[in-house]
Amino acid sequence: MRVLGIETSCDETAAAVVEGGFTVRAHVISSQADLHATFGGVVPEIASRRHVEVITAVVEEALAKAGTSLEEIEGIAVTNRPGLIGSLLVGVSMAKGLAFGRGLPLVGVHHLEGHIFASFVAAGGPVVPAVALIASGGHTELFYVRAPHDYQVMGRRLDDAAGEAFDKGARAVGLEAGGGAALDQLARQGNPQAVPFPRARTDHPLDFSFSGLKTALLRFLETDGGRTPVADVAASYQQAIVDVLVEHALQAAHAAEVDAVLVGGGVAANSRLQAQLRTVATARNLRVAFPPPDLCTDNAAMIAAAGHSLLERGVRHGFDLETKAREPLTTATFAPACQVEVG
Ligand code: KG4
Ligand code: ZN
């Protein structure tokens, strides 16, 4: 089955053609990052307007790059939750129009399920059972993935998401654009041990809290008065985020008794996270699946892949498919995590 995927949940307009579930024929991303840069965050109204302007061209480009046309598409998958409502509506309306016009099955996909499927795409098929760490600008969550579409929550963010911590940290150290990717770049020249930033502890050992770290960075910059090289500050700050992500992912794998860790979301592109998790995972005989960088951040290939799997299972949505600003991927909680020991 050849599925067209559409993703417009935030500030990326994306379309992709995926075949047989995990083969990406083409995927196109039109980023609005520069449009929002001066505002210090995504402006919802600007985001949805830009989606409207570019979505048709992005879909056409994906079809052309895949060497196919709508006549050969057999299903339409679209992110319908969670995300910015005005942005989601653009993608969902486009998907409904295409499905209606060509009489194709339509399926709405949860954005976080898409990020899990990005790892499956990278691996060429489902890697289960596993734990999945999804860390992006809006999410930092750990899931037990028993099988495709069967998820339980192991840990969640209590305040800032990891990507948000990266973005705020990047701005605090003077990087005007580029967010986490720019901080990652700067940190490569720095000493990650230079500043002892805190690693937040939470009541539930697998939850995440990064707001205290951000405050610690601001306080440090104020009192340091520019004495510590900025690359050292960036590397130390990044290390504090990465240590927590790696430790929690390993604890989750231990608690769930799985030997695979999937990582997704924009923060999965972080070079330090990738290197550190790979090193410790190898030492513990764990398999780690990182999507390639262009499938870590928001894209439509992951949506087409997840949609393909849902369509294969007979899931179909009508033209009354809703958009939702918030919705957990699952309400099921992985119980043994409550008694997790630091492994
Ligand atoms: O998944 P994504 O594209 O969008 C959301 O769903 O939020 O993630 C974007 C986030 C941003 O916060 C960005 O700063 C972060 O991912 N990010 C990174 C890196 N590349 C993107 N964070 C750390 N290191 C990177 N290399
Ligand atoms: Zn995302």
Tell me the CATH number for domain 126-290+333-339.
3.30.420.40
92: CA distance to ligand 1 center in Å?
Answer: 23
Mean pLDDT of 131-135: 98
Residues with CB under 6 A from ligand 1: 10, 136-138, 163, 166-167, 179-181, 184, 265-267, 269-270, 297-298
Residue 336: what pLDDT? 61
pLDDT one-digit tens code per residue, 4-52: 999 999 999 999 999 999 999 999 999 998 888 888 788 999 999 999 9
Residue carrying the six token digits 């099921």:
332
Residue 338: what pLDDT? 45
The atom of ligand 1 lying closest to the CA of 296 is 1
pLDDT one-digit tens code per residue, 214-270: 999 999 999 999 999 999 999 999 999 999 999 999 999 999 999 999 999 999 999
The atom of ligand 1 lying closest to the CA of 298 is 3
14: left (phi over 0), alpha (psi -120 to 50) or beta: beta
pLDDT one-digit tens code per residue, 197-212: 999 888 899 999 999 9
The CATH T-level fold of domain 2-116+295-312 is: Nucleotidyltransferase; domain 5 (3.30.420)
pLDDT one-digit tens code per residue, 77-124: 999 999 999 999 999 999 999 999 999 999 999 999 999 999 999 999
- Map the chain to HEC letters: CEEEEEECCCCEEEEEEEECCCEEEEEEEEECHHHHHCCCCCCHHHHHHHHHHHHHHHHHHHHHHCCCCHHHCCEEEEEEECCCHHHHHHHHHHHHHHHHHHCCCEEEEEHHHHHHHHHHHHHCCCCCCEEEEEECCCCEEEEEEEECCEEEEEECECCCCHHHHHHHHHHHCCCCCCHHHHHHHHHCCCCCCCCCCCCCCCCCCCCECCHHHHHHHHHHHHHHCCCCCHHHHHHHHHHHHHHHHHHHHHHHHHHHCCCEEEEECHHHHCHHHHHHHHHHHHHCCCEEECCCHHHHCCCCHHHHHHHHHHHHCCCCCCCCCCCCCCCCCCCCECHHHHHCCCC
pLDDT of residue 337 exceeding 70:
no
For residue 167, the ligand closest to its alpha carbon is 1
The answer to whether 233 and 190 have CB atoms below 8 angstroms apart is: yes
Numbered ranges of CATH 3.30.420.40 in the chain: 2-116+295-312, 126-290+333-339
70: CA distance to ligand 1 center in Å?
Answer: 31
Distance CA 336, CA 343 (A): 13
The atom of ligand 1 lying closest to the CA of 161 is 12
Q: What does pTM read for this prediction? A: 0.94
Q: Name which of 160, 137, 83 is nearest 268 in CA terms.
A: 137
Distance CA 180, CA 256 (A): 30
Greater confidence, 211 or 341? 211
Distance CA 247, CA 156 (A): 14
204: CA distance to ligand 1 center in Å?
Answer: 25
304: CA distance to ligand 1 center in Å?
Answer: 20
